[in-house]
């Protein structure tokens, strides 16, 4: 049924529109890793409500994200692809782990500090304990590896600390997870300010390529990408815009930066930008098509959602029952 001995867990939030940065930096790596591990990929909708959401929009984005996982190449029979909110064990374990996490640890989380500053009118307790829910996601499945972006490493470190602390008191209950940080060089920058990371929430539409962008939009955004006056396609720190375009082109074509430099030696930026745009559009088109097909087939997608949540639950409940017993909750009479 599943692929490897070792367990892998990762998740994304269905807030904001995903960019090619999310695809190249995360989703595509998941597809590769899914051959090697037994994987759970969750749409972490419970995390999303730590910030106010429009309910209808959250629901439709969550469905779009779940279908995107599949469209990007994650097989829902070989992997477990599900909504966090469909497996109540996440919230139950999070409660217990809250009692094994210190205020001081959570106060040190840089994401909490950043988000509190950004949402000063809604610094809720969920935002504060967000990393504990994330620890529960991971520890529930006896996860060995967690692919995460560098911004989530601090949360993963906390999950490890909680697991170790719990194990020290109660014996070996949790597997202590390791981070999996993808290859370096796959960092995608803004097309309008190549010194900034490409973001889901940039106000400038032209800064990011969204996974939903159609071919014309992709070509237009690359055409407008900020470059320089060097007139030379070179992979150099001194040319961050061109360097970023080379990174993107390399990522979608599999060519090395040196090969790309050679391919475009003596050719103009206009030509290069068009080639990058076409390569990106060609990468996105089949994913968009598959996603649209999935979203159109309600019965099929609902079936996947239901069975995958059941498979996740089956695994989660084993850990949860063990933990409940360890901390002293009464046994359920059979």
- Min dist CB 130 to ligand TRP, Å, is 7
Element housing 248 (H / E): helix 240-253
Q: Which is nearer to ligand TRP, 2 or 232 (CB)?
A: 2
Beginning with the edge strand found earlier in the chain, give each strand of the sheet holding 145-147 in spatial order.
80-83, 38-43, 7-12, 145-147, 178-180
Question: At 173, phi and psi to the nearest 5?
Answer: -95, -45
What are the residues binding ligand TRP (CB under 6 A)?
9-13, 44, 47, 134, 137-138, 146, 148, 152
Q: Which is nearer to ligand TRP, 11 or 76 (CB)?
A: 11
Q: Are 30 and 39 in contact (CB under 8 A)?
A: yes
- Min dist CB 137 to ligand TRP, Å, is 4
- Min dist CB 90 to ligand TRP, Å, is 9
> Which residues make Cβ contacts (< 8 Å) with residue 60, sequence separation at least 6?
none
Q: Which is nearer to ligand TRP, 137 or 213 (CB)?
A: 137
Strands (E), the chain: 7-12, 38-43, 80-83, 145-147, 178-180
- Can you tell me the distance from the alpha carbon of 93 to that of 186, in angstroms, rounded to the nearest whole number? 34
Write down the catalytic residue from 6, 78, 187, 197.
197
- Min dist CB 183 to ligand TRP, Å, is 18
DSSP state of 25: I
What DSSP assignment string belongs to 276-297? HHHHHHHHHHHHHHHHHHHHH-
Pairing type for strands 178-180 and 80-83 reads unpaired
- Min dist CB 252 to ligand TRP, Å, is 23
Strands (E), 26-174: 38-43, 80-83, 145-147
Nearest alpha carbon to residue 308 among 136, 73, 72, 66 = 66
Q: Which is nearer to ligand TRP, 162 or 242 (CB)?
A: 162
- Min dist CB 149 to ligand TRP, Å, is 6
Q: Which is nearer to ligand TRP, 134 or 188 (CB)?
A: 134
Q: Which is nearer to ligand TRP, 140 or 279 (CB)?
A: 140
Q: Exposed, middle or buried by CB within 10 Å (0-12, 13-18, 19+), for 118? A: exposed
- Min dist CB 292 to ligand TRP, Å, is 25
**Is 115 designated active site?**
yes
Write down the catalytic residue from 6, 200, 255, 318.
200
Question: What would you report as the CA-atom Rg of the chain, rounded to the nearest whole angstrom?
Answer: 21
Nearest alpha carbon to residue 228 among 276, 273, 277, 278 = 273
**Is 197 designated active site?**
yes
Q: Which is nearer to ligand TRP, 79 or 227 (CB)?
A: 79
**Residues tagged active-site:** 115, 197, 200
């Amino acid at each position: 049924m599943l692929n490897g001995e070792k367990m892998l867990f990762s998740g994304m939030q269905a807030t904001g529109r995903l960019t090619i940065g999310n695809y190249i930096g995360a989703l595509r790596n998941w597809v590769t890793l899914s051959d090697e591990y037994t994987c759970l990929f969750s749409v972490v909708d419970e995390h999303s409500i730590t910030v106010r959401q429009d309910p209808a929009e959250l629901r439709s984005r969550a469905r779009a994200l779940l279908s995107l996982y599949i469209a990007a190449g994650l097989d829902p029979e070989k992997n477990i692809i599900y909504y966090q909110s469909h497996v109540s064990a996440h919230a139950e374990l999070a409660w217990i782990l809250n009692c094994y996490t210190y205020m001081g640890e959570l106060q040190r989380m840089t994401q909490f500090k950043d988000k509190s500053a950004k949402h000063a009118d809604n610094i809720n307790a969920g935002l504060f304990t967000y990393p504990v829910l994330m620890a529960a996601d991971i520890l529930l499945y006896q996860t060995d590896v967690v692919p995460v972006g560098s911004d989530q490493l601090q949360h993963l470190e906390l999950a490890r600390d909680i697991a170790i602390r719990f194990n020290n008191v109660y014996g070996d209950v949790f597997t202590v997870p390791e981070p999996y940080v993808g290859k370096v060089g796959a960092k995608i920058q803004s097309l309008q300010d190549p010194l900034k990371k490409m973001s889901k929430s940039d106000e400038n539409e032209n800064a990011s390529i969204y996974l939903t962008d159609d071919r014309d939009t992709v070509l237009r955004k690359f055409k407008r990408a900020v470059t320089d006056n060097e007139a030379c396609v070179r992979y150099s720190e001194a040319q961050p815009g061109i360097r970023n375009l080379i990174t993107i082109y390399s990522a979608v074509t599999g060519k090395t930066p040196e090969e790309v430099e050679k391919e475009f030696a003596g050719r103009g930026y206009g030509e290069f930008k068009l080639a990058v745009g076409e390569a990106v559009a060609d990468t996105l088109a089949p994913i968009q098509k598959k996603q649209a097909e999935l979203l159109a087939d309600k019965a099929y997608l609902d079936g996947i959602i239901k069975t995958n949540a059941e498979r996740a639950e089956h695994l989660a409940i084993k850990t949860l029952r063990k933990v409940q017993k360890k901390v002293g909750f009464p046994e359920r009479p059979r």
